[in-house]
Copies of this chain bind each other. A is one copy, B any other.
Amino acid sequence: MRITILGGGGFLGRKLAVRLARDGTLGGRPITAMTLFDLAAPPEFPAPFPLTCLGGDIAELPEAAIPAGTDVVFHLAAVVSGAAEADYDLGRRVNLRGTDAVIDACRRLAAPPRLVFTSSIATFSGGQGTILNDDARQIPANSYGTQKAAAEMLLADATRRGFMDAVCLRLPTIIVRPGRPNKAASSFFSAIVREPMLGLETELPVPDDFAVWVASPRSAVEWLIHAAAMDTAPLGLDRSFNLPGMSVKVGEILAAMDQVRQGASSLVKRVHDPVTAGIVGGWPAGFNAERAPANGFRRHEPLIDVIRAFVSDDLEATRIDRAIG
């Protein structure tokens, strides 16, 4: 089985690549080769199969990124919400033209590959009062969500036409992301755990009872792997899933953190930010995601496990990265 990860240098792409290298198999079949593609060539790492790391522009996807015989493509490459909002042309180029380039690369293969696409809950709007069912309409309130929703449609059509066999995952807000605070409006949902765990102060721009739909990196990787090997015959025209994340209140995240490290939440300063609160306040507070578990996507682990996993999986690397950077 030959695998490509587009966006293989990003946070989730990297975790997925390392996990697949550790497993050596996907869906019970041995992995024989893997290609990682990102804007800059992702760093190599030890793997039990040939690993090719390529850099380039996804809108001008080189043929080597999805070589002949590719069985599974993970398409995680994207310009994220803050950047797509700041630069319309860049978002459109990467998130739409890039998806078209991926479709064209799959069309050229002799057999249609399974394609797993990371879409987002940013394709929805609604606000704190809203819990969306699986048949809810996508009415995005930002360019990133618009481009992701449009890409889902193009991939579903490419599937219907036989160019690929796509499964689109509308990922919740992922916590806890390692690295540094960034300009994404959702950045603080990770920072309120990551920064105190590093002994650093951070700001909380929304009230403690603000509800957010989240998932852990571990669940995200599990879902990606499940999507790569699942039976897609029952899906019909609808190739997209709202995933079984968790609707949690910010105060619950802080309380879980304090269970892992007592008093850590004292480093979280309440500084209301009307701009950030306005953006995240437009997102739905949760989903009734029933179709995904019915199709084998595992239910989410408890919140306390999310904090513990960050400490065991990512905290030390984040600390070293900060010390170097």
Contact = CB atoms under 8 A, between A and B. Distances in A.
Interface of A: 88, 92, 96, 100, 125, 135-143, 146, 149-150, 153-154, 156-157, 160-161, 237-238
Contacts of A153: 138, 140, 146, 149-150
Given A149-B153, A150-B154, A143 B161 contact: yes
Nearest to A89: B104
Given A92-B100, A150-B150, A140 B157 contact: yes
A171 B284 CA distance: 30
B146 A157 contact: yes
Contact of A137 (B100, B137, B143, B146): B137
A219 to B, nearest CB: 25
A40 B135 CA distance: 42
13 contacts: A88-B161, A125-B237, A135-B137, A137-B137, A138-B153, A139-B156, A139-B237, A141-B160, A142-B157, A143-B157, A146-B157, A150-B150, A150-B154
Contacts of A143: 157, 161
A140 to B, nearest CB: 7
A125 B153 CA distance: 13
A139 B153 CA distance: 8
**Most chain B CB inside 10 Å of its own CB: which residue of A100, A137, A157, A160:** A157
A137 B240 CA distance: 12
A90 B45 CA distance: 42
A314 to B, nearest CB: 33
A139 B125 CA distance: 18
A279 to B, nearest CB: 13
Contacts of A160: 141
A241 to B, nearest CB: 14
Contacts of A238: 139
Nearest to A91: B157
A96 B149 CA distance: 14
A258 B137 CA distance: 42
A311 B100 CA distance: 45
Contacts of A157: 140, 142-143, 146
Nearest to A136: B137
Contacts of A125: 237
Given A140-B153, A150-B153, 11 more contacts: A88-B161, A125-B237, A135-B137, A138-B153, A139-B237, A140-B156, A141-B237, A143-B157, A143-B161, A146-B154, A150-B150
Contacts of A96: 96
A322 B140 CA distance: 47
Contacts of A135: 137
Contact of A156 (B88, B136, B146): B146
Contacts of A136: 137
